[in-house]
Amino acid sequence: MKQNIRKQIDYLLKITDKIGIVEHCCFDKPNYVEGYCVDDNARAVQVCLGFQNEYPILKKVLPTYFGFIKSAIKKDKLYNDLNSDLSWKNDFIINGEHYGRTLAALGEINNLESSRLFEQIYSFFTEKKSPYIRVTSQIIWGLKNYRPEDIKIWADAMVLQYMKEKTNNWKWFESLISYDSGRLPMALLAAYQTTKNEQYLEIALESLDFLTNLIFDKEKDCFVFPGNVGWLTKNNSRAIFDQQPIEAGSATEVYSLAFLIVKNKKYKDLALKSFGWYSGKNILKVNMIDEKTGGIYDGFSEKKVNKNQGAESILSYLLANNALAKIS
């Protein structure tokens, strides 16, 4: 899969400047007014690590994304959004998702400087817990190289929350299925890889299979991810639109990892089908890849495609591509 992404790598570089990757775009043009964010620069670090051998230019741009993360650390806080005038916004959430995504990225770099930054940010979680389960899931991913002995603390917290929510008809970590959902069972798969705790694997696969039954339409033979105008709730309320690329990305990543661990071909097939969402195997049968620019459209509603091609969209595609390449 990697050999087919030259345009996507070029697009990634196109929306990157000396500061970092620009968060939003007007069509394929960086929208500098909207600024930059740690979330995207952390994911850009992961993309560089995944593709730098095939595309050496990424080795040169990696320090830009890494430097952006470093610049966001102020005393005992990690800021997220950088304005176009290079001032940091103060309305970020303490221990929010950008904390988790940053730790996940730093955990993959695995060198002395990233280890120091990891420990600094990790120390912000003084009680070794986060109010947001997606942050917990990302922390588990980051701990694999630096503090594998701590994985049990966070994985057990996910298990506890899962058990609180689980019923005969609902096997999920929260009372709704919202965005980046694949990241949750993926964390417990990663925890199993390190600890060999069978409970983590059992819950990861049970929740993943439950999720699959809800988001994969067998009749249409495509993924129909919950829309961000309402999501999918425990009381059976469901929104179909708007659907976004991040859902296809995390689905591809978790199915790929599940296949690597348990070798069940159904997960490989699901990884291929979820990745196919980008190229038109979706409910609208629209290609979400701009074949001219290499960018990924930001999503679609019932009646139209959002033709903006922001950072999260291209990053989700590249991370999914990297995961899929490991099982191809």
Residue 81 to residue 89: CA distance in whole angstroms: 6
What per-residue confidence (pLDDT) applies to 289?
Answer: 98
- What are φ and ψ of residue 226, in 5° steps? -55, 135
DSSP collapsed to 3 states, 121-156:
HHCCCCCCCCCCHHHHHHHHHHHHHHCHHHHHHHHH
* pLDDT recorded at residue 240: 96
Helices (H), the chain: 6-14, 38-51, 57-71, 97-109, 112-122, 133-146, 151-165, 183-195, 198-215, 245-262, 265-275, 311-325
| Residue that has been written with the tokens 């730093």 in this structure | 106
pLDDT value at residue 158: 98
How far is the first Cα of the chain from the last one, in angstroms, to the nearest whole number? 8
Collect all residues with Cβ–Cβ distance below 8 Å to 251 and sequence separation of at least 6: 181, 182, 215, 223, 225, 270, 271, 274, 277
Q: Are 212 and 266 in contact (CB under 8 A)?
A: no
- For 100-119, how does the pLDDT look when each residue is reduced to its tens digit (9 = 90+)? 999 999 999 989 999 999 99
Return the exposure string of 282-306: e unless at least 16 CB atoms fall within 10 Å of the residue's CB, then b. Answer: bbbeeebbbeebbbbbbbbeeeeee
Handedness of CA 108, 112, 117, 119 (dihedral sign): positive
DSSP secondary structure letter of residue 247: H
Full DSSP string of 171-216 = -SSSSEE-SSTTHHHHHHHHHHHHH--HHHHHHHHHHHHHHHHHHE
pLDDT by residue (tens digit) across 29-82? 999 999 999 999 999 999 999 999 999 999 999 999 999 999 999 988 999 999
Q: Is the pLDDT of residue 127 over 50?
A: yes
pLDDT reading at 2 higher than 60? no
110 conformational bin, left if phi > 0, alpha if psi -120 to 50, beta if neither:
left
Q: What is the pLDDT of residues 254-276, one digit of tens each?
A: 999 999 999 999 999 999 999 99
Domains of the chain, by residue range, sit at 2-325
Mean pLDDT of 222-229: 97
Q: Could you tell me what percent of the chain has a pLDDT over 70? A: 99
Tokens at residue 300, please?
């679609």
CB-based contact 307:24 (threshold 8 Å): no
pLDDT higher than 70, residue 3: no
> How much is the pLDDT for 1?
45
Return the CATH number of the domain spanning residue range 2-325: 1.50.10.10
Largest Cα–Cα separation, the chain: 53
Residue 91: per-residue pLDDT? 86
Q: Determine the residue type at 304.
A: K
Whose structure tokens read 């470093």? 70
Q: What are phi and psi of 31, to 5 degrees?
A: -100, 85
As a whole number, the mean pLDDT across the chain is 96
The phi-psi region of residue 60 (left if phi > 0; otherwise alpha if psi is between -120 and 50; otherwise beta) is: alpha
Q: Residues 274, 265: contact at Cβ < 8 Å?
A: no
Q: Of 276, 270, 239, whose CA–CA distance to 257 is shortest?
A: 270
Read off the pLDDT of each residue in 81-103 and give the average, rounded to a whole number. Answer: 94
